[in-house]
Structure 1
Amino acid sequence: MLIGISKYISPELLKILMEMGHGDEIVLADANFPAASTARRLVRCDGHPIPVLLEGIMQLFPLDQYVAHPAALMERVPGDQVETPIWEEYRAIIAKHSDVAEPFEFEERFAFYERASKAYAVVATGESTQYANIILKKGVIKEG
């Protein structure tokens, strides 16, 4: 354990976050996501919900300020009536830690899978909410 780092951020996840460079992407995947078959690098955070991981990551991780939308969500499959209140949780967490006005772009399900397969890492979580997957694009840390 370290002071100032969420207890939900494992040593392996911290290492991945530090290795990532500007423009690299990380996927926080819900429990239904095919994380093991998609990931180039897989980090297991089984049992943890995505909002607590996102909160811990956002304390350490700058979002890319050079793109219109530094985060991506999987859009609902047409006709699926599932509610997505978790997206507003994500919006609030991101707003707390950045000045990004509109962080999200939406990717069709299979386009999201394809994008996730190119991400630096996929974090497999225990999140059971549908459409809870989120991709974060890393920015730069500015001195001063």
Structure 2
Amino acid sequence: MLRGLNPLLSPDLLHTLAAMGHGDEIVIADANFPGTSNAKRLIRLDGISATDTLEAVLQVMPLDTFVADPALTMQVVGNPDEVPPVVDKFQWLIETTADTPSPIQTLERHAFYERARDAFAIVQTGETRLYGNIILKKGVIAP
């Protein structure tokens, strides 16, 4: 046990976040996401929501300030302008928790999967809300 850390940050997840460098990406994925078949490194947080996971990650990891899209979600198939409720909550968490809030950008479904395959890691949550997936690009931690 450690003090001051969200208990959702498991040893595996903490190690992964610490090992990531500037510009590396991590995916927080819902329960329907094909994590096992797409991940270089897979961390399972079954039973935990994607929004709770995002909040815990943002408490210890800065978003990249050198890019316009440090946070990406998957577009709704057939309605790319729709913003699912879970994505609204992601945006609220970024605005209230991230060091440098940024508007979420979106990717077409297959482009999202392709980007996720290149990510440093995928965190598979128990999120049941559809489109509960987000890619985060790690920023710099200044001295």
Asked if these proteins are the same fold (TM beyond 0.5), I'd say yes
Partner of 1:53, secondary structure, is helix
Mapped to 2, the partners of 1:60 and 1:15 lie a distance apart of 12
Q: Which residue of 2 aligns with 1:59?
A: 59
Shift of 1:98: 2.6
Q: Which residue of 2 aligns with 1:100?
A: 101
Of 116-125 and 83-92, more deviation after overlay is shown by 83-92
Instruction: Give me the identity figure in percent.
Output: 48
For residues 63 and 115 of structure 1, do their structure 2 counterparts lie closer, same or farther at Cα, with a shift above 3 Å needed? Answer: same
Shift of 1:83: 6.2
Q: Which amino acid aligns with 1:12?
A: D
Mapped to 1, the partners of 2:100 and 2:23 lie a distance apart of 18
**Equivalent residues in 2 for 1:1-144 (5 A)?**
1-79=1-79, 84-96=84-96, 97-102=98-103, 104-143=104-143
CA contact under 8 A between 2:65 and 2:139: conserved in structure 1?
yes
Pairwise CA RMSD: 1.6
- For structure 2, the 5+ residue unaligned runs are none
Shift of 1:79: 4.9
Deviation by residue 1:59-107 (Cα, 9 ceiling, x = unmatched): 1000000001200000000159x861111211111112233342x1111
Shift of 1:136: 0.3
TM-score, with structure 2 as normaliser? 0.94
Q: Which amino acid aligns with 1:88?
A: D
TM-score, with structure 1 as normaliser? 0.93
Partner of 2:105, secondary structure, is strand
Deviation by residue 1:101-132 (Cα, 9 ceiling, x = unmatched): 42x11111111000000000000110000011
For residues 101 and 123 of structure 1, do their structure 2 counterparts lie closer, same or farther at Cα, with a shift above 3 Å needed? Answer: closer
Q: Which amino acid aligns with 1:57?
A: V
Mapped to 1, the partners of 2:88 and 2:107 lie a distance apart of 17
Q: Which amino acid aligns with 1:118?
A: D
- For structure 1, the 5+ residue unaligned runs are none
